[in-house]
Chain A
């Protein structure tokens, strides 16, 4: 219980589901062969942490921010630019951390102080505008960021796939730098999620929930809501930046499409909604469901699309084309807000079949 900050999943089905996901993630390099499975697993880890940090904003304080990918992008680009500029060594990684995290923190502080004074709706619009300006900047300042192409870079020796540890193979599985990177990502993400769980179960987290429920009353009780909201914003931004760094380390690349695009923001929103807002556990489940669907349903869609094209049906091939994945995502989005307002976690906690 201590490690979960006294906030257990509170539902047997949920505990089992979480245990399955975590065990699968831990064992992925050994039970699912191939690079794709490992990529999917790493993405689930990174997004679980990113979505959990976003849940701190959306679920716990009730403020809709569209700038979360900006912080994610800052982390990604910090790693990419440092390793690209200083060469593949650990000093570069340290420089990236030392420069990226404070930058994310400062920007979050600026956005927070500037816009959290205004109403929630303003906050959403302002963050959307700032994030889009940041995206434009990242793709225009090509001398620094590589523009639309992004930046590819080499990892430090230890993390490269070519680095082989224990002999050649271990029970038939190669133990190399890639596996080490995977476990680095997994551990870091697990730590971040546990830290977030600690934050939301602290007195500070309770104040955030009070602000979400009734900001006026929280203020009347003597809490300085602007400061609390700004802290929450800063914590979420720093964790998002860390997740971005892990993402860049895993991909060995940072670019607008993988770290800043608006579609990533939508993915995050949807994962929070699917998993259940205001529950850090929801982030793990939302990320796992969504990323599995994204990676394996698209293949299914292309089969369905070509089948519909062969059958000569009008319109359907276009609608089922794998590139139209976002269309179904949007419908899922609406449906999940409409039918599952509490998400998977809320459903499981309230026992299936009960009202709401």
Chain B
């Protein structure tokens, strides 16, 4: 009780909800523009699902930047590696994946996701130790080093798996859609939405409600102080880097299943998209990243439906518009 009183006494910063309302307003504005209710629902669900997947991939990047001040241009490599590792489980066990029972499907899908998270997490450890450690605090070199890492990873994938596109069919229980009246909602998209939302809640809870989260946030504010208090901030940040990489790997598998194909250039393609999301959200902000991902997906889906030609550059236009409004992104956490 006394603790509550203490926190109540502190003046709380005002909640900034304008960015939160942005996707909602955008979705409502689109109702008359799209015209038919069923296509609107389909587009909205598609946007949310795509947005959640992009969020999973981008959250790692924004965590790493916001917390460690490391800009990882090689983030796309983790996405591509994750997708390929997923295929290592999903393709040999295709008979399970194509079985008609949801349980059998999940028995393949879950290990695939866990394995790719494990591999990309371990890769994150190596990358942090080898590439990032020597260049902490030097942005220019970070960009150069991690770009080099991205090239090496992508080319190694080409060397190991060949340049061809690998088809990655969805497990049969996740194919098709639920039909409600004249509205069709794709099953896999619903699953992607659920997973993405769960991860968002989990990250928010860990950051805001646990001691580790407290230390991470404190470390961002003042690293020396937390170190002086006797916490091993380096190890904590290494953990953050690995978590970020593992999330990218998970996002890679989910994206590969969404597109039903995997290719080594996946990393390149998504790097740009993920960067746009992180910029829109404001570097280091998980909430901003979440909203940014949904906005990008909405613009891509609605834009692709209404003005297909515009969809090619819609991301850039969105980024320009947001930065005109808020030059540091929707929510800027870092003071740098």
Contact = CB atoms under 8 A, between A and B. Distances in A.
A120 B139 contact: yes
B285 to A, nearest CB: 14
A331 B169 CA distance: 34
A290 to B, nearest CB: 14
B160 A318 contact: yes
B275 A128 contact: yes
Contacts of A13: none
A341 B141 contact: yes
Nearest to B268: A262
A334 B275 contact: no
Contacts of A318: 159-160
Contacts of A136: 312-313
B62 to A, nearest CB: 12
Interface string B119-145: 000000000000100110001110111
Nearest to B312: A136
A114 B319 CA distance: 12
A310 interface: no
B336 A119 contact: yes
B316 interface: yes
A334 B316 contact: no
Given A129-B272, A129-B275, A331 B312 contact: no
B307 to A, nearest CB: 14
Contacts of A321: 159
A121 B283 contact: yes
A269 B73 CA distance: 14
Interface residues of B, number: 43
B316 A133 contact: yes
B22 interface: no
Interface in B131-166: 131, 134-135, 139-141, 143-145, 147-152, 154-156, 158-160, 163
Given A117-B327, A128-B272, A327 B152 contact: yes
B268 A125 contact: no
B104 to A, nearest CB: 34
Given A129-B276, A130-B316, A333 B71 contact: no
Contact of A333 (B148, B283, B313): B148
A338 B134 CA distance: 8
Specify the main secondary structure of chain A where it touches its partner: helix
A315 interface: yes
B155 A327 contact: yes
A326 interface: yes
A293 interface: no
A334 B145 contact: yes
Contact of B319 (A129, A269, A323, A324): A129
Contact of B148 (A64, A119, A337, A341): A337
A253 B315 CA distance: 30
Nearest to A330: B151
B306 interface: no
Contact of A324 (B71, B144, B158): B158
Contact of B279 (A64, A122, A137): A122
Nearest to A125: B275
Which of A126, A140, A266 is the most central at the interface, judged by chain B CB atoms within 10 Å of its CB?
Answer: A126
A114 B315 CA distance: 16
A37 B268 CA distance: 33
Nearest to A317: B159
A133 B318 CA distance: 12
Contact of A126 (B140, B148, B319): B319
A199 interface: no
Contacts of A64: 139-140, 143
A318 B156 CA distance: 9
A126 B151 CA distance: 20
A26 to B, nearest CB: 33
A58 B144 CA distance: 11
Given A114-B323, A323-B158, A140 B279 contact: no
Contact of B144 (A120, A128, A273, A326): A273
B160 to A, nearest CB: 7
B217 interface: no
30 contacts: A62-B140, A64-B139, A114-B323, A118-B323, A120-B139, A124-B71, A125-B275, A125-B276, A126-B279, A126-B319, A129-B279, A266-B147, A269-B144, A315-B160, A319-B156, A319-B159, A323-B158, A324-B155, A327-B151, A327-B156, A327-B159, A330-B152, A330-B155, A331-B148, A333-B144, A333-B148, A334-B152, A337-B148, A338-B145, A341-B141
Interface of B: 65, 71, 73, 131, 134-135, 139-141, 143-145, 147-152, 154-156, 158-160, 163, 268, 271-272, 275-276, 278-279, 283, 312-313, 315-316, 319-320, 323, 327-328, 336
